[in-house]
Structure 1
Amino acid sequence: MTYFVTLEGETYEDAVDAFSWDLPEEFNAAVDLVGKHDGDRVALHQAFPDGRRESYSFSDLDRRSNAVANVLEQRGVEFGDRVAVVLSQKPANVLTHLACWKVGAVSLPLSVLFGTDALRYRLTDSEARVAVVDAAQWETIREIAPDCPELEDVLVVDADAELDPDALEGATASRFDAAVDREDVDYEVASTDVDTPAIIMYTSGSTGEPKGVVHSHGVWLGHCPAFSMYFEREVRADDAVYWTPADWAWIGALGDLVFPAWHYGRPVVGSPMGSFDPEAALELAAEFDVTHTFLPPTAIRMLMDVDDPADRYELSLRVICSGGEPLTPEILEWADAELEGTVVNELYGQTEANLLVTNCREWFPARAGSMGKPVPGRDIALVDPETGERVEAGSVGEIAVRRGEDPVVFDRYWNAPERTERATLERGGDEQRSAEQSVSDGEAWHLTGDLAERDAEGYLWFKSRDDDLIITSGYRVGPREVEDAVLEHPSVAQVGVVGVPDDRRGEIIKAVVQPAAGTEGSEALREEIRELVRDRLAEYEYPREIEFREALPQTTTGKIRRSELE
């Protein structure tokens, strides 16, 4: 059955009243994204760093993902098993996700920016049986494979030469392309529905280890109402072309753009860019006639440094959506002036429940700094974090979203029921906050941990996290993870990590370090600490600012007072 999510109504209020989740009984995300469309229509324009250009139709992706599914099955992957995807914006990335869902397996998107500690933790915690990795990650995989007891096979994409199958301790290595090219392009897709687990995406928290967020096959359908809103209801336009520079390991890329675009049968541009280059981004957008893009606020600010972009590049851009931090008035003014009226729409979501609030100029004017209004199909409430009761307009409350039938809300945290319970608001025992007087009698709601205010006209304004999470260049970073990495340096006795304001990145990571006895703080030590964090966590998680102190402020129980470190 061909199924499309639609928004109906001439006004925002009409759309909210008319919308309902009428989800099919049988549903497989891979069939929905590539199998249901006209096979000859282009699905992916691929731009490679060496200048090569390739195009893949929906039929191409369907057949090739069948071949990958056969490869995974041959390696013992079964329904519910986890498969890691450690790849940049390459065809093998999305092919592996599609293949997993056809098998009934659960895909695990992981960033190529991850270092040894970050990758090791996620592979072991998820108990991934197979990993499909970029050749650039080969040495990292070789180092950590012995520590990942469930990892049995590693498929390497773009490997220059034949791999020694015994090169990894405890796992078999082989070339992805060679394995897939030998396989049958027919495959019988597993029986799944919108509630079948499909993907685990890891997100950082302010305390403890990263959390694995489990989403079902219906999650991409859940993104579509917002996708339609912030792209001004043009999502099925014949000339629509979608692109984002965001890492395809994050829900902000896969959920905000790639998979919703394919739900509607429209092409996506893929390009493993690495660090964002505003000139290269404009060249790419012009080359492929990109009409709709998701850009993190940091990327937009970098584009603002380019002189006369509309005059120098033949751009087709109509809409830019952006999220991760509030958009300032100058961003909207810049787009109107320098991109000849290109619309910029802010959005809000999180890995657990993405795209809850956004804008649509067709329905209501944007207000700089506001996230917009709740998306049709979302039931959003602002509640008192202590009592669970709704707060009045003009008051700050924690953003909560009703679980119900909404497929965008995550199923659970992987192997962490207590974390799932803490993030759930429902009528229950003494340990749970009651929803009786606040949201809905007997319904379960997800608590986002984000604080916002609703004005009299229904606009939502982000205020802060209710914890110490750092948001830098759109990435969410838990200070605890960075602190643990810094503490591995023998010259560090104690460290506290916080976010400090930055005009371009929103926040930057700052580490306040107490050197070990007999050690002086120095520029050399700063560089060693930064390099250590890059290697163990990720490129974006290293502290750009490092301050040395003789002692760090502590509570009576010995915990560092992060509030006094800024």
Structure 2
Amino acid sequence: MTWYVTLDADSYEAAREGFEWDLPEGYDAVWNVLGKHENPDERVALYQAYPDGRRETYTFADLDAESSRMANALAERGVGFGDRVGIVLPQKPANPVTHLACWKLGAVSIPLSVLFGEDGLGYRLRNGGASVVVCDASMTGTVERVRGDCPALEHVVEVDGGDAPDGDVEPYGAVLDGQPATHERADVGADTPATIVYTSGSTGDPKGVLHTQGSWVGHCPGYQMYFERDVLEKSVVWTPADWAWLGALADAVFTTWHYGRPIVGYPAGKFDPETALSLMDEFGVTDTFLPPTAIRMMMDVEAPAERYDLELDAICSGGEPLTSDILEWADAELEGVVVNEFYGQTEANMLCVNCQGWFEARPGSMGKVPPGREVAVVDGETGEELPAGEVGEIAVDHTTDDPIVFEEYWRMPDETGATRVGRWHLTGDLGYRDGDGYFWYKARADDVIITSGYRVGPGEVEDAVLEHPAVAQVGVIGVPDDTRGEVIKAFVELRRGADPSDALREEIRDVVRDRLAKYEYPREIEFMDELPQTTTGKIRRVALREYEGLN
């Protein structure tokens, strides 16, 4: 049976009024993205490109067969219902294949970035209790170095490394060789735990956000909106976003496959606007998810529509408010391409979305609430809904049939409970709703930094900076940046005898790069004689922001 979530109403208001969540009987995540499409042997699911010029094409049937082989291989290595598997891979086929294999087993996949250092990766593997890790060859060394601190970790499978086993590391190809291309699905459904995606750790350690197999469908109304409701017959989708983040897996990969359309994969390093335009030209990309930083970099490319044969219709973007110049640039330089901003978080994505075919975009606004979702601005203490124009905490109803809201923070019941007030899940973000139903972001209730679309917790960065022997105290905040939205700035108090210098700044950056993700290092470092502290000795980040003139 072919089944899609569609928004066929002529108006936003009619779509809101008529929408109902009605998942088919027997739904599971693999059926949702692979099993329900007609002609799976002919229907392309993945155009895979590589920087060295190689090109591969995978149909939905190909992905079904390979994920079955992987499911059988994981089962041989002891993975069963509820077990966790770490996936440390860039945009390569083995990445979604391993997710799908996990879900066939009823296991839980843990997407992890190839940008993580030892501390970031080790904590997440240890906390998630991963028994198997499937990693890129570029990350095998990091995985091996943290392996001793991860007691549950028993098997490491390496992608694009050698063909023969290297100690306890098994090659991906060898693991799949000889495995059957079919697998009898476990007894799974919409409520079966599927994925743990880790937050940035803005307050304390990163939290594992547990989503179910039904959660992938929850992204469909927003996806339809920001790609202007025209996806079933024509969409080809690409994003440069890391396939370790919900923003790529849900906003692009698996939601595109829900509609039986192809995604483009490309394991790039740093974003390059010319490469991006070349890929979109080559594969006829019609819709793309681009972080605001990527769009700003593309704005520096001269005459893109003349130099590249683009079929682009719509760009969606999120992570920070979009300015009017971005919308104007896309309309003029990309010849009518619309840019739709949306808002969400790891715990509950796509809470507000723009759709210019239904209502005008207002620069700076996150848009309106998609059909099937109940979002409000509330008093964070009482849960009382606030009137239009009044600033409060943005919240989503977690008691409806809407599958978008996470189940729990992994093994953190108190932290999970702290986000719930009555029927509302609190996002921790402050904003307001205007009289026309548009939502506007005001500030973060916590201290999270959003740089180049990545959410970074200052606590993690501070802990890493403190590893340098010359550092006595440190406070980290985000400061405005024209390209990245915000950059990380560290205020450092040195130990007695240490002298401030540019060389020391670079040493501190290197420490952070080695321990955390590559995007988490402080681009700006200012040495101070003394940092502002509370009476209990905590660094007062609010005072640092005031010092920067940000409050």
Query: Which TM-score bucket, shorter chain as reference?
Result: over 0.9
Equivalent residue for 1:424, pick from 396, 420, 427: 420
Q: For 1:20, what is the secondary structure of its paired residue?
A: coil
Partner deviation per Cα, 1:233-287 (whole Å, 9 max, x = no partner):
01202x3200000000001101111111100000000000111000000000000
Check if 1:93 corresponds to 2:95: yes
Instruction: Find the aligned partners of 1:205 and 1:507 in 2 and give their Cα distance.
Output: 17
The letter for the 2-side match of 1:474 is: G
Q: How far did residue 160 of structure 1 move?
A: 2.8
Q: How does 1:249-264 map to 2 (within 5 A)?
A: 249-264=244-259
Check if 1:318 corresponds to 2:313: yes
Q: How far did residue 386 of structure 1 move?
A: 3.0
**What is aligned with 2:180?**
184
**What is aligned with 1:221?**
217
Instruction: Find the aligned partners of 1:420 and 1:386 in 2 and give their Cα distance.
Output: 15
Instruction: Find the aligned partners of 1:60 and 1:47 in 2 and give their Cα distance.
Output: 16
Partner deviation per Cα, 1:21-51 (whole Å, 9 max, x = no partner):
1123422211211122121100000001110
Instruction: Find the aligned partners of 1:209 and 1:72 in 2 and give their Cα distance.
Output: 29
Check if 1:245 corresponds to 2:224: no
Partner deviation per Cα, 1:82-135 (whole Å, 9 max, x = no partner):
000000000000000000000100000000000000000000000000000000
Task: Answer yes or no: is the 8 Å Cα contact 1:296–1:323 preserved in 2.
Answer: yes
Structure 1 unmatched ranges of 5 or more:
166-171, 427-443
**What is aligned with 2:278?**
283
Q: How does 1:485-564 map to 2 (within 5 A)?
A: 485-564=464-543
Check if 1:396 corresponds to 2:391: yes
**What is aligned with 1:31?**
31
Instruction: Find the aligned partners of 1:396 and 1:181 in 2 and give their Cα distance.
Output: 57
Instruction: Find the aligned partners of 1:180 and 1:202 in 2 and give their Cα distance.
Output: 28
The letter for the 2-side match of 1:338 is: E
Q: How does 1:121-520 map to 2 (within 5 A)?
A: 121-165=123-167, 172-237=168-233, 239-403=234-398, 404-426=400-422, 444-520=423-499
Q: How far did residue 177 of structure 1 move?
A: 1.4
Task: Answer yes or no: is the 8 Å Cα contact 1:8–1:19 preserved in 2.
Answer: no
**What is aligned with 2:60?**
58
Instruction: Find the aligned partners of 1:386 and 1:521 in 2 and give their Cα distance.
Output: 44
Q: How far did residue 3 of structure 1 move?
A: 2.7
Q: For 2:366, what is the secondary structure of its paired residue?
A: coil
Instruction: Find the aligned partners of 1:387 and 1:129 in 2 and give their Cα distance.
Output: 41
Task: Answer yes or no: is the 8 Å Cα contact 2:471–2:495 preserved in 1.
Answer: yes
Q: How far did residue 161 of structure 1 move?
A: 4.3
Mean alpha-carbon deviation: is it higher for 383-392 or for 39-48?
383-392
The letter for the 2-side match of 1:66 is: S
Instruction: Find the aligned partners of 2:429 and 2:24 in 1 and give their Cα distance.
Output: 32
Partner deviation per Cα, 1:178-209 (whole Å, 9 max, x = no partner):
21132111110111111110000000232210
**What is aligned with 1:432?**
none
Task: Answer yes or no: is the 8 Å Cα contact 1:26–1:191 preserved in 2.
Answer: no
Instruction: Find the aligned partners of 1:35 and 1:158 in 2 and give their Cα distance.
Output: 28
Check if 1:8 corresponds to 2:8: yes
Q: How far did residue 296 of structure 1 move?
A: 0.2
Q: For 1:54, what is the secondary structure of its paired residue?
A: strand
Q: How far did residue 361 of structure 1 move?
A: 1.2
Task: Answer yes or no: is the 8 Å Cα contact 2:352–2:369 preserved in 1.
Answer: yes
Instruction: Find the aligned partners of 2:416 and 2:299 in 1 and give their Cα distance.
Output: 40
Task: Answer yes or no: is the 8 Å Cα contact 2:71–2:104 preserved in 1.
Answer: yes
Equivalent residue for 1:77, pick from 79, 98, 112: 79
Task: Answer yes or no: is the 8 Å Cα contact 1:2–1:32 preserved in 2.
Answer: no
Task: Answer yes or no: is the 8 Å Cα contact 2:252–2:289 preserved in 1.
Answer: yes
Q: For 1:140, what is the secondary structure of its paired residue?
A: helix
Task: Answer yes or no: is the 8 Å Cα contact 2:381–2:421 preserved in 1.
Answer: no
Task: Answer yes or no: is the 8 Å Cα contact 2:241–2:248 preserved in 1.
Answer: yes
Partner deviation per Cα, 1:355-402 (whole Å, 9 max, x = no partner):
111011111111111111001011011002233211111111111100
Instruction: Find the aligned partners of 2:44 and 2:14 in 1 and give their Cα distance.
Output: 34
Mean alpha-carbon deviation: is it higher for 214-223 or for 16-25?
16-25
Instruction: Find the aligned partners of 1:366 and 1:267 in 2 and give their Cα distance.
Output: 28
Cα gap change, 1:150 to 1:182, in 2 (>3 Å): same
Instruction: Find the aligned partners of 1:9 and 1:459 in 2 and give their Cα distance.
Output: 19
Mean alpha-carbon deviation: is it higher for 105-114 or for 362-371?
362-371
Q: For 1:218, what is the secondary structure of its paired residue?
A: helix
Instruction: Find the aligned partners of 1:343 and 1:318 in 2 and give their Cα distance.
Output: 7
Q: For 1:449, what is the secondary structure of its paired residue?
A: strand
Instruction: Find the aligned partners of 1:504 and 1:276 in 2 and give their Cα distance.
Output: 13
Task: Answer yes or no: is the 8 Å Cα contact 1:371–1:461 preserved in 2.
Answer: yes
The letter for the 2-side match of 1:151 is: L
The letter for the 1-side match of 2:301 is: V
The letter for the 1-side match of 2:34 is: V
The letter for the 1-side match of 2:189 is: D
Task: Answer yes or no: is the 8 Å Cα contact 1:232–1:360 preserved in 2.
Answer: yes
TM-score, length of structure 2 as denominator length: 0.97
Q: For 2:365, what is the secondary structure of its paired residue?
A: coil
TM-score, length of structure 1 as denominator length: 0.95
Q: For 2:478, what is the secondary structure of its paired residue?
A: strand
Give aligned pairs, total.
542
Instruction: Find the aligned partners of 2:8 and 2:327 in 1 and give their Cα distance.
Output: 27
Instruction: Find the aligned partners of 1:161 and 1:55 in 2 and give their Cα distance.
Output: 22
The letter for the 2-side match of 1:322 is: S
Task: Answer yes or no: is the 8 Å Cα contact 2:163–2:174 preserved in 1.
Answer: no
Task: Answer yes or no: is the 8 Å Cα contact 2:380–2:421 preserved in 1.
Answer: no
**What is aligned with 1:438?**
none
The letter for the 2-side match of 1:491 is: A
